[in-house]
Chains A and B, each alone.
Chain A
Amino acid sequence: MGVAPPLLDRRLLFVTGKGGVGKTTIAAALGLLAAREGKRTLVCEVDAKGNLADSYECGPLAFDEREVQPGLFAMAMETEASLREYLSLNLKLPLLTRIGPLASIFDYVAAAAPGVREVLTVGKLCWEVRERNYDLVVVDGPATGHVVGHLAAPAGIRELVSVGLIRNQTQWMLDLLDDPAVTGVVVTALPEEMPVTESLELIERLDHETGVDLAQVVVNRVLPELFGRTEEEVFDRLREPWNTMRLGELVGSPVGPLLDAAEFATSLRRSRVEHIGRLRDELAGRVPMLYVPELFSRTHGLRSTRRVADALEAELL
């Protein structure tokens, strides 16, 4: 067991979060940042929604990884392909070619044995780490509800299966997963009620059901502070009907929408600050929190990924 190193010096990072919080963006940006730092990096999308490909604007991803930026490789997890790779590496079964489509075996195994699908996913990722094919593997992981199932799968399989190859294969995975010098979870949240609540619940479950270390909490889409205290007072004066009207006259067109927009941004920020506060209080300094600002573009192409990577870099390095 090692002591937790700086985030990007770990070898395997699982990025997770409630649906819609931007975990793919964060995973993509972390990968980009690591590659920029000169690390040979693999980013793997587990949910196969295709969002990772959008983040890199690299066209559809497959199980076989592809270099999408210098030093940055990307892949999409396919559990059947993972099984195929695993069997060819471990079983050395010439028989395989004779037993027809692997798909039926796979369905059988995956449907019957709880956690097998998850173990095949985690196993493939751990394998890349063990073989030192990459300096860092970043996983655009499953959403909060499913990630514990993945990370707990190797231990679960050990409990259910008393003999067999799968059992034998779980120990080395656990050694990697439970070592904070190697593996860490990055929880992504939005400063809103449900994402914060789900993040806190997830962290509790990770502690209870897995031995994997919480590496980082990322708060995405944090709004900038528009006004300080004195500025807010002046803003309130500008909102007085007389001043609003005068300003409109001086500008030559109504400024109501501008002031409304500023009001909206200010109160939205206020409600978000409250949720960030709750998250920070509950974490009580256990892991550092990173803040990624709202980017006001709502695209998720490479340009946007780069901007998020810049924001993370400013916080991390």
Chain B
Amino acid sequence: MAGLEQLLASREIAVFAGSGGVGKTTTAAATALMASTHLGGKVLVLTVDPARRLANAMGLRSFGNIETPVPAEAFEAAGIRPRGQLWAAMLDTKASWDDLVRRHAPDPRTRDRILANPLYENISGRFVQSHDYIAMERLHEIHSSGRYDLVVVDTPPTRNALDLLEAPERMAEFFTSRLLRLLTAPSRSRLLTLASRPFYEVADRILGSQFLGDISEFFSLFQTMEAGFIERARAVQRVLTDRRTTFAVVTTLEAAPVAEADFFIDELVRGRHHVGAVIMNRTLPQAMLAPSAAGAADIVRERSDELAAALLDGPDAATAARVLVEIGANFRNLELVARREAEHRRRFAGRAATLAEVPWLAEDITDLGGLSRLGEQLRRPVDPSAG
């Protein structure tokens, strides 16, 4: 089975998806580092909300919306000689929305009125899953600039993994929808059709006419960007199904993230997206599944006094007996978790071109060296049927 490196060699975009807390951001950064080290070229990791420690690990004090190269000193300190370059950028939703408005507003006056509208910030932050859309939009912008050989994208935590895939389509639909026509109708004409009058009567009683008017004006302004937005949303949508794009689904081997990963893979397949990799993160070593080890764990617990006395003398023997009991119990605890993980691991067999697995590291990643070791783990393809 081909590894992640092989997969990325033929792709320009890798989208990292998965439920919250599974380590998407870190694995995306490690993958980008691995690709820049082994494949060369110019690699960008576009991340949503990097931990300060991760930014530090990449030798960056912080990264904003602006693409920033990981400094050579950070590579030198870690003893890595990359063939290519590694860049990082963060997704700033508000700044990206502003850019989008600037690009698509028909004239400076409309642009300024939109940006100054009190509803703009609220609405740009909320409606039609705007974070998801902005993430995909920014990806398209960066990819089409041709500045990078590979863009690795970390995605925002979504309530539903599907939101991410459907966001561009929803954005396009929004501009052509009856909803937007209804929203802008009062400012276009005071004459309401007989059919829509009850609609406004209810809305009016709930929201008040002043607020209704504000909303209406805002969406009328927004509608001036219709053509640009629709075209853009369609282009973003095309990028996601492009054969140069692949998806990596990141998950731990716990029940809830696995169920979500499973569902997401199904949806990716249904939408004709390329499911390049399943990355199983923070797993326990499979050595814990050896039956002989489980037997040994029971023996050290049951015969702790006798074993301790045979190994050490005096008061140390009493301490050692307690230590052995703890060692045995701890192993049985972790083994139980490892068994559940093995069941989940089997479910991912054959579900993606590549399976990768990262063992649960007891220490946090604090430098590029740590990120690089993670990247090396990711290079190794795994056999899901083992254990």
Contacts and interface: CB of A to CB of B under 8 A. Distances in A.
Contact of B300 (A167, A251, A297): A251
Interface string B296-314: 1101100000010011100
A315 to B, nearest CB: 21
Interface in B190-238: 198-199, 201-211, 214-215, 219
Which 5 A-B pairs have CB atoms at the shortest separation, nearest pair first?
A19-B20, A20-B21, A164-B208, A114-B122, A267-B362
B362 A298 contact: no
Interface string B112-154: 0000001100110111100000000000000000000000000
Contact of A258 (B127, B179, B296, B336): B296
Interface stretch (A6-14, A27-35, A229-237, A282-290): A229-237
Interface stretch (B325-333, B345-353, B370-378): B325-333
A298 B254 contact: yes
A300 B256 contact: yes
A161 B257 CA distance: 40
8 contacts: A19-B20, A19-B21, A160-B118, A234-B312, A259-B327, A261-B327, A262-B326, A270-B362
Interface class of chain A by DSSP: helix
Contacts, number: 218
B122 A115 contact: yes
A190 B363 CA distance: 15
A160 B257 contact: no
B211 A113 contact: yes
B295 A253 contact: yes
Output the residue of B127, B205, B209, B335 with the most chain A CB within 10 A. B205
A89 interface: no
Given A258-B297, A262-B331, A18 B323 contact: no
A20 B320 contact: no
B255 A164 contact: no
Output the residue of B53, B293, B323, B334 with the most chain A CB within 10 A. B323
Interface residues of A, number: 79
A201 to B, nearest CB: 10
A162 B331 contact: no
B292 A254 contact: yes
Given A253-B292, A296-B336, A20 B362 contact: no
Contact of B334 (A98, A165, A261): A261
Nearest to B339: A298
A88 interface: no
B316 to A, nearest CB: 6
B344 to A, nearest CB: 9
A162 B211 contact: yes
B272 interface: no
A199 B320 CA distance: 40
Contacts of B310: 246, 250
Contacts of A267: 362-363
B157 A143 contact: yes
B317 to A, nearest CB: 9
Contacts of B179: 104, 107-108, 111
Interface string A298-312: 111000000000000
Contact of A254 (B123, B125, B293, B323): B293
Output the residue of A91, A163, A247, A297 with the most chain B CB within 10 A. A247
